Amino acid sequence: MTSNARGNLPPLSLHVPEPKFRPGDAVDYSHIAIPAAGAQARPDEGCVAAETHPLCLDMVRVLDEDHRAIGPWDPKLDADTLRRMLRTMALTRAFDDRMYRGQRQGKTSFYMKCTGEEATSVAPAMALADDDMVFPSYRQQGILISRGYPLVEMVNQIYSNRADKLKGRQLPIMYSARDYSFFTISGNLATQYPQAVGWAMASAIKGDSRIAATWIGEGSTAEGDFHAAMTFAAVYNAPVIFNVVNNQWAISSFSGFAGAERTTFAARAIGYGIAGIRVDGNDPLAVYAATRWAADRARSNGGPTLIEHFTYRAEGHSTSDDPGQYRSAQEREEWPLGDPIMRLKRHLIALGEWSDEQHDAMDRELMDHVKAATKEAEKNGILGHGLHHPFHTMFEDVFEELPWHLKEQSEQAIRERRIKWPEWKES
């Protein structure tokens, strides 16, 4: 390459982000500043957005090193609510483990776990109203589980069998549940952000009381949809909560490629003039408190809030990913913010409201519960075993009345299939 340097001017250089640890490296997280729990001020929900901006560079934390809930962000939840939160996170993890094994056994083509990130979906779901509309990404299965969506229906969708309510038209784990105020998951990153803003604006126009909440990973903040959504929300003061789950990795690209080397992701709220909070994403109480604060603010016409959940993706991006190829195996064990389930378990034990024996019994019960749901769903078929929706359904649900040319295509397709497989019967 020919140099175009002139005179005494130094040549320009391009910075390419590089993660601190690669496979085989020793891990040292001392560069991560972790503030003391309880040290962060809690502004009033009706404050001007600028009062929250110091929180964009800090980190809201509630659980301390002695497993106590301290400080102004302590939501002061009762023991029954804490146990329900713990159980839901544990159920989400048990479900993930079972579905991961199912994929490895060939029962489905694809699965994505949320191990280590359960608090970023379960705690917000509990802090929101059940009819608040959520626009999730593909790692928020904990929301559906929190809202009581049947596990059997989730497995049916993952297996794309004859009972799949989406009729096999979506990638496994991309659920849709309108009755549970759960918007269809999209594999196109960040599309849910402007959709959530549009829904929130419509709710405000109608004078409704419901708000919207949406989730993306930190890598998706580099998408144009993120910035379009932020602009509309800021301009129209939309009642929406923007959740950015910063789990450090976007598949094999570390968070620096989305801008993490420069500042926090919560700091993007500052540029748009909206409220922002950076929260310990492995502290379920802090996540709950931040979401409740943002929900109260939105519901009282205070406008949008951006919440960055600082967490870690403990396992691969999906069943198609091998994280051992691009990051140190020590990262998960050395992660300084711990595991959200263990942290809440220890908090309950410190309160005298839980025990190791109760936790072990709960885990066994949840594994049996997930196993039973899976067996029930398998009666409707698994991937590639012929128990699927009738062939003609692939032409339905787009038009209210099927046009003539699609009727012809449907009849031709069914006729050709019968010729090729005479033993086949349309159910």
Take residue 335 and report the two structure tokens written for it: 């992660």
Coil, helix or strand at residue 19: coil
Identify the burial level of 409 via C-beta atoms within 10 angstroms of its C-beta, where 0-12 means exposed, 13-18 middle and 19 or more buried: middle
Catalytic residue, chosen from 313, 343, 346, 389, is 313
Q: For this structure, is 175 an active site residue?
A: no
Catalytic residue, chosen from 29, 149, 180, 326, is 326
Q: For this structure, is 210 an active site residue?
A: no
- Whole-angstrom CA distances from 305 to 55, 87, 295 are 12, 28, 9
Concatenate the DSSP letters of all residues of 303-361 into one string: --EEEEEE----S-SSTT--GGGTS-TTHHHH-TT--HHHHHHHHHHHTTS--HHHHHH
Cα angle vertex 359, ends 353, 365, to 5°?
125
Q: For this structure, is 299 an active site residue?
A: no
Take residue 386 and report the two structure tokens written for it: 């012929």
* Nearest-angstrom CA–CA distance, 141 and 143: 5
Catalytic residue, chosen from 61, 98, 317, 327, is 317
DSSP run (H or E) holding 277? strand 275-280
For residue 113, the 8-state DSSP code is -
DSSP run (H or E) holding 135? strand 133-135
* Residues forming the active site: 313, 317, 326
